[in-house]
Amino acid sequence: MAEPLIAGARPTSAEIDLEAVRHNVAELRRASSTDVCAVVKADGYGHGAVPVATAALEAGATWLAVALVEEGVALRAAGITAPVLVLSEPHPAAAPVVVANGLRPTLYTESGVAALAAAATTSDEPFAVHVKVDTGMHRVGAQPESVVELVQRVVSSPSLRFEGLWTHLATADELDPAFTNEQLRRFEEVRSTLAAAGYRPSMVHASNSAGSLHHPQARYDLVRCGIAVYGYPPAPGRAVDADLRPVMSVRSKVSLVKRVVAGEAVSYGQRHRFERDTVVATVPIGYADGVPRRLSAVGGEVLIGGRRRRIAGTVTMDQILVACDEDGSVAIGDDVVLLGRQGDEIITADDWAQPLETISYEILCGISGRVPRVYR
């Protein structure tokens, strides 16, 4: 029989700064001059959907967005009453759950409209839905030429109300605005065609974080901000008119210190061999916690004693080894920062992402559930 886990037995945690969430949302409201929808899918990009949603709403966000119906249900179970947009069309079997929880479904197929219309007959008033247009990303959404007929089906259903029309931008984070402009042109064509047919939604939205920060013409009535809420620019290195503060920091403590002599190698595969005697610190966090296994191979670092220290050898499932050169002051119990600030140094999710040829989104979402979240 496995022994029960003891809270706090491992000195590893992800600290979530909810004041930074509030700050970032306020900055996004200022920069976009429109309503903000905080995207809290994937458990708030790994930060905790309910605490982040609550902080975002406190800072003036008026909408929330999720990817899955069950994510929206979890927000409702926590007592959150703000509008919650489900970004993909719900499975027809989930339509009654959407209605029962007052979620805003995205629709883009005839079967989706039919399922929501049938489920919404239990509603006291016409149930608000949003129609998504595929303007070029080609992931989900109705084809532009079929939108009028789809909206007509919504409007002709007594149980439904055509509240929103939206699209998603595929390249808003890139320097070349050509394709974003083309998507917006296609979107405007759809809007004009709908207006000519007498269909005008109550609200229109197109911007993700990148659209909000880099394409003013895409802001419309609402901006759907994900990564920026969590303190990261959608395009690293590109200036934004917003002071964004990273929300998550990942911390641990040194669990063991040893001296490895010159010529010895460490960790699986013995891929890191020391040329001189080196103090090596063991830290109880590994790839099962979200530290990418390849991070050591691309020069990954942590902070100990306010200094950058390189990860030595292959990241293992539960632990990493850190080369501390000849610094004999490093001791068991010393604070270790994997993501965040220590003294004058800071390591960000972008610092991990760029050499790994990925994005900050994946790094943040990858911090696993076995790392306790601590909120302040």
Flag whether pLDDT at 1 surpasses 50: no
Within 200-275, residue ranges assigned H as helices are 209-214
Give exposure, 328-351, as e/b (b: 16+ Cβ within 10 Å): eebeeebebbbbbebeeeebbbeb
- Residue linked to tokens 């967005």: 65
What dihedral angle (degrees, nearest 10) is formed by the CA atoms of 64, 290, 374, 61?
-20
d(CA 251, CA 270) in angstroms, rounded, equals 26
Give me the chain's average pLDDT, please. Answer: 96
Residue 327: pLDDT band (50, 70, 90) is confident
Residue 6: pLDDT band (50, 70, 90) is low
Flag whether pLDDT at 242 surpasses 70: yes
pLDDT of residue 9: 83
Backbone torsions φ then ψ of 114, nearest 5 degrees:
-60, -40
Per DSSP, what are the bridge partners of residue 35? 222
Q: Which residues are marked as active site?
A: 41, 268
Predicted confidence (pLDDT) per residue in 14-23, tens digit: 999 999 999 9
What are the residue boundaries of the structural domains of the chain, listed by start? Answer: 18-230, 248-375
Model-wide pTM > 0.75: yes
Residues 80, 104 contacting (CB under 8 angstroms): no
Q: To which H or E segment does residue 93 belong?
A: none
Predicted confidence (pLDDT) per residue in 93-102, tens digit: 999 999 999 9
Q: Residue 177 corresponds to which tokens in the numbers above?
A: 């605005």
Predicted confidence (pLDDT) per residue in 287-320, tens digit: 999 999 999 999 999 999 999 999 999 999 999 9
Name the CA radius of gyration of the chain, rounded.
Answer: 24
Residue 273: pLDDT band (50, 70, 90) is very high
Residue 4: pLDDT band (50, 70, 90) is very low
Mean pLDDT value of segment 345-370:
98
Residue 237: pLDDT band (50, 70, 90) is confident
Mean pLDDT value of segment 218-224:
98
Mean pLDDT value of segment 348-366:
98
Quote the percentage of the chain above a pLDDT of 90: 95
pLDDT of residue 7: 57
Mean pLDDT value of segment 72-84:
98
Sign of CA dihedral 266, 272, 277, 283: negative
Within the chain, residue ranges assigned H as helices are 18-32, 41-45, 49-58, 69-77, 95-100, 110-119, 147-155, 178-196, 209-214, 349-356, 360-366
Helix, strand, coil shares, percent, the chain, to 5: 35, 25, 40
d(CA 171, CA 314) in angstroms, rounded, equals 35
Residues 310, 283 contacting (CB under 8 angstroms): no
Mean pLDDT value of segment 107-125:
97
CA distances from 325 to 12, 125, 240, 274 (A): 23, 69, 38, 10
Q: To which H or E segment does residue 217 belong?
A: none
Predicted confidence (pLDDT) per residue in 155-214, tens digit: 999 999 999 999 999 999 999 999 999 999 999 999 999 999 999 999 999 999 999 999
pLDDT of residue 208: 98
d(CA 350, CA 284) in angstroms, rounded, equals 22
Does the domain at residues 248-375 carry the CATH identifier 2.40.37.10?
Answer: yes
- DSSP character for 5? P
Residues 59, 22 contacting (CB under 8 angstroms): yes
Mean pLDDT value of segment 323-340:
94
Quote the percentage of the chain above a pLDDT of 70: 98
Does the domain at residues 18-230 carry the CATH identifier 3.40.1110.10?
Answer: no
